[in-house]
Amino acid sequence: MAQAMAEAMAQVPHEEPLVVARNVDFRWPGRDGGALSLPAFELARGEHLFVSGPSGSGKTTLLSLLAGVVAPRQGSIRIAGTDLTTLPSAGRDRFRADHIGIIFQQLNLLPYLSVLDNVLLPCRFSASRKTRAREQAGGAVEAAGMLLERLDMPASLWRRPAAELSVGQQQRVAAARALLGRPELILADEPTSSLDAARQAAFMTLLQRECRASGAGLVMVSHDERLASGFDRRFTMPAAREEEPA
């Protein structure tokens, strides 16, 4: 019996992690100082990871690499089975639009657009996310409305310009935009830095609940150590490496 069970388990295909990075090396062109060197980094599908480290350790650089905004000078970064380092810049842009939602530290909402139009922006750039939104709720507008409701944004605010919202409301709009169309990976860079402790906790509860509901993996960078306990795992960035002189 034990041998039969072992043979059956051996036949179950191993599910590749959502993110697998190996021997990644990166430096910003024209900048002196530290460079990011990352021997290994993984994120399981649906896992929520808290990333910490001192200023200058490369936390935001890590998110830029995972998002495909920049490419390492060596190493590999696989996300959802695709090696980003084999793609040209335009290919990484398309992949990011289809598979990755980002919550920026400065939120990057378009202030003159309404709440609803800001949330719908991913569907303007990704047919895949528009299709998934349609499958989820019957249409992109319906999916956006569903997310806003679940993130406690009343419908009375949906037609207002984003510039008229409070910081906390803007962060919920940014979260809804990142989540629309169920991307596999959500990247968040200090998303609660402008909130007090009570609003931080409320926002994180909403964000993680929606990531769980859609099955999205979450990588969040934060200096606020109090938030780490709510994550599946913590990753501490390695110390910044000084670039050797040429």
Tell me, yes or no, whether 3 lies in a domain.
no
Joined together, the tokens standing for residue 152 give 């406690």
Write down the pTM of the prediction: 0.88
pLDDT at 2: 46
Tell me, yes or no, whether 152 lies in a domain.
no
> What is the domain range of residue 49?
18-108+168-242
Q: What is the pLDDT of residues 103-124, one digit of tens each?
A: 988 888 999 999 999 999 999 9
Tell me, yes or no, whether 212 lies in a domain.
yes
Tell me, yes or no, whether 113 lies in a domain.
no
Query: Total domain count for the chain?
Result: 1
Tell me, yes or no, whether 77 lies in a domain.
yes
Q: What is the pLDDT of residues 67-111, one digit of tens each?
A: 999 999 999 999 999 999 999 999 999 999 999 999 988 888 999
CATH number at residue 84: 3.40.50.300
Tell me, yes or no, whether 83 lies in a domain.
yes
Tell me, yes or no, whether 195 lies in a domain.
yes
CA–CA separation, 196 vs 150, rounded Å?
A: 21
Tell me, yes or no, whether 146 lies in a domain.
no
